[in-house]
Amino acid sequence: AAKQRGRARVEVFTSELRSHALNKLSIESELRAAIREGELVVHYQPIVRLDTAEVVAYEALVRWQHPNRGLLLPEEFIEVCEEANLVVPLGAFVITEACEFIAAHPEFTGRVFVNVSTRQIGSADLTRVVTHALDATGIDPHRLGLEITESGMLIATQAAKSDLDGLTALGVDLIIDDFGTGYSALSSVLLNPVSGLKLAREFTLRLGDRGTGDRISTTVATLTRSLHMSGVIEGVESEAQRAIAREHGWQLGQGFLFGHAKPAHELDLRGPSSVADPHEGPVPSAG
């Protein structure tokens, strides 16, 4: 009986493994087709001034408009992408889209941040892909920021180092994403030409605890300022969090309170000065 149970367990295990492998394989080939056939789309989430809610930048976030499964979020396919070596074409797609977005919307004068997977750094193509997208669209490189996690900043290979230096030489900003959640957070700042950081949402969730959460937020805001970097606090969902973040010294924020990621055509890209207030009468003329 024990032997039979053993065999049954092995069979279950094997078939689970097989379906997992099959699933990965089919997602992989579907993803290849998706990239080819334009099923990937980029949505944009605002990054705002916490005091006025003025949009200063957008983060480009990839989605997969799947023909049967609907709109898929990155958590459902980025990992497969990385394992299947598809991050290079995926990354190239998002970077190109972001540059074209900037070029196509002269009414928007802010910046766009693009996520770069650790696997893309040092893969030889990253600097070339960015160079190509900048050349093709003619945008000012300073309008593009690349979000890289701490682990991405700390790849010790020469290829990775030359990618990060190469991108900085192009004039593209490097920003640490999810700051505080990786290893060696401070050496990622120390060892790289980093222009900003984004405090991870898990710290924002702890705002107002009158303890460790508040102290970390205050300390990182101070660190950011004293290193002359730009800081964004992520995952701001409530007015209470916004108020506390401001007290702690954060000037820029991102989160559902200010807006979810949306397709470019659904964004209001007019600058704050051109937004007419329907409750205001005609502007009185001087004198």
Judged by the rule CB under 6 A, the positions of this chain that interact with ligand C2E are 45, 61-62, 73-75, 78, 94, 115, 117, 147, 177-178, 201, 235-237, 254-256, 261
Please state the closest distance from residue 205 (CB atom) to ligand C2E, in A.
9
Residue 208 Cα distances to 85, 214, 244, angstroms: 42, 6, 7
Which H, E and C letters describe 154-202, residue by residue? CCCCHHHHHHHHHHHHHCCEEEEEEECCCCCHHHHHHCCCCCEEEECHH
Binding of Mg ion by 178 (CB under 5 A): yes
Total residues interacting with Mg ion, rule: CB under 5 A = 4
8 vs 205, which CB is nearer to ligand C2E?
Answer: 205
| Interacting residues of 14 by C-beta distance below 8 A, sequence separation 6+ | none
For residue 147, state whether it binds Mg ion (rule: CB under 5 A): yes
CB of 25 to ligand C2E, least distance (A): 21
Compare residues 27 and 197 and give the one whose CB is closer to Mg ion.
197
CB of 42 to ligand C2E, least distance (A): 7
Burial 23-51 (b: 16+ CB within 10 A, else e): eeeebbebbeebbeeebbbbbbbbbbebe
Q: Which does 163 bind (CB under 5 to 8 A by kind): Mg ion, ligand C2E, none?
A: none
Secondary element (H or E) of residue 45 = strand 40-49
Q: Which is nearer to ligand C2E, 188 or 254 (CB)?
A: 254
| Residue 259 contact partner, candidates ligand C2E, Mg ion, none, CB within 5 to 8 A by sort of partner | none
